[in-house]
Amino acid sequence: MNVSIDSLGKVISERFKIAQAQIVPEATLEALGFDSLSTVDLVVLLERKLGLKISDAKVYEIEKISDILAVANGAA
């Protein structure tokens, strides 16, 4: 699957009320206000909205938006 920063940003900004301009590859989830529970919520949302399959092991490796893009696009 090919997920762009724009499509990812749109999904995240709509659900978590984060300005889409803040959702850039180098942004950390922590800097965007995510904690462990909201990260799980994010993963469930991405699986449902974008059809992603993110393993439990990969969830623990996600620290930045770029990590999500890498998993989504098969680079991780």
Q: What is the pTM of this model?
A: 0.88
pLDDT given at position 26 = 98
Across residues 30-34, what is the average pLDDT? 97
What count of residues does the chain have? 76
> Does residue 64 sit in helix, strand or coil?
strand
What is the distance, to the nearest Å, from the Cα of residue 24 to the centroid of all Cα atoms in its chain?
10
Is a pLDDT exceeding 70 seen at residue 76? no
CATH 1.10.1200.10 fits 5-72, yes or no: yes
CA 23, distance to chain mean position in Å, is 9
- Rounded CA-CA distance 46/43 in Å is 5
End-to-end alpha carbon distance in the chain? 13
pLDDT confidence of 75, banded at 50, 70, 90? low
Give the domain ranges of the chain.
5-72
Residue 1 is predicted with a pLDDT of 67
